[in-house]
């Protein structure tokens, strides 16, 4: 169980698409022996889809955002989870407020746009990362949101997922 002071917490990873939330969650899950859940996978389960293109084809971005809200209500009250979120969860204040209200410790994986471009150069899975200029606009728009929700910021440029996971573990244990 992840303890923060005397409370069992959930560790919530936020950050832009391609910042490494999934790989870091995997590594952190191993390091801390905690279960890990991926919000995008739960979105597919809840919407009976297989990928994000199907979600958008079925109900557009609205279906994604509504499903994310339904998921947070279901999972936030559990304890001792690592949750890797979709990059857009910061768009609905209710999601991060809900996580925090239920002992969620929010870690912002801060990547530069250059790092994100490197990670996503061959990606075809993200409907909101089709056009680089539009993605940069989203990145700039969301940056203050990620910062405002972060209990902890971890810079991820030039770091391996294991190094980022160790930094998060050290913070949780401190
Ligand atoms: C999105 C991020 C994606 C996924 C969807 C929309 C966003 O998750 O939820 O494509 O709006 O930033 P990742 O951050 O895991 O790529």
pLDDT tens column, 119-135:
999 899 999 999 999 99
Residue 142 CB–ligand 1 contact under 6 Å: no
Tens digit of pLDDT for each residue in 57-78?
Answer: 999 999 999 999 999 999 888 8
pLDDT of residue 127: 95
Looking at residues 21-37, what average pLDDT do you find? 96
Determine if ligand 1 sits within 6 Å of the CB of residue 20.
no
Region for residue 33 given its phi and psi (left: phi exceeds 0; alpha: psi -120 to 50; beta: otherwise): left
What confidence tens digit (pLDDT) does each residue in 5-27 have? 555 889 999 999 999 999 999 99
Ligand 1 centroid vs 21 CA: distance in angstroms?
10
- Quote the CA–CA distance of 69 and 66 in Å, as a whole number: 5
Provide the whole-model pTM.
0.95
């Amino acid at each position: 169980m992840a303890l923060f002071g005397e409370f069992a917490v959930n560790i919530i990873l936020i950050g832009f698409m391609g910042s490494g939330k999934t790989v870091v969650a995997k590594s952190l899950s191993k390091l801390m022996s905690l279960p890990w859940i991926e919000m995008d996978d739960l979105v597919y389960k809840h919407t009976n889809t297989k990928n994000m293109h199907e979600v958008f084809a079925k109900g557009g971005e609205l279906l994604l955002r509504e499903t994310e809200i339904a998921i947070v209500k279901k999972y936030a009250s559990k304890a001792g989870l690592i949750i890797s979120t979709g990059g857009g969860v910061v768009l609905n204040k209710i999601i991060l407020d809900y996580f925090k209200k239920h002992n969620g410790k929010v870690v912002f994986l801060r990547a530069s746009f250059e790092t994100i471009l490197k990670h996503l150069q061959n990606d075809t899975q993200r409907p909101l990362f089709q056009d680089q200029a539009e993605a940069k606009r989203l990145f700039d728009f969301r940056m203050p949101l990620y910062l405002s929700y972060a209990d902890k910021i971890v810079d991820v440029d030039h770091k391996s997922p294991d190094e980022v996971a160790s930094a998060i573990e050290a913070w949780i244990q401190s």
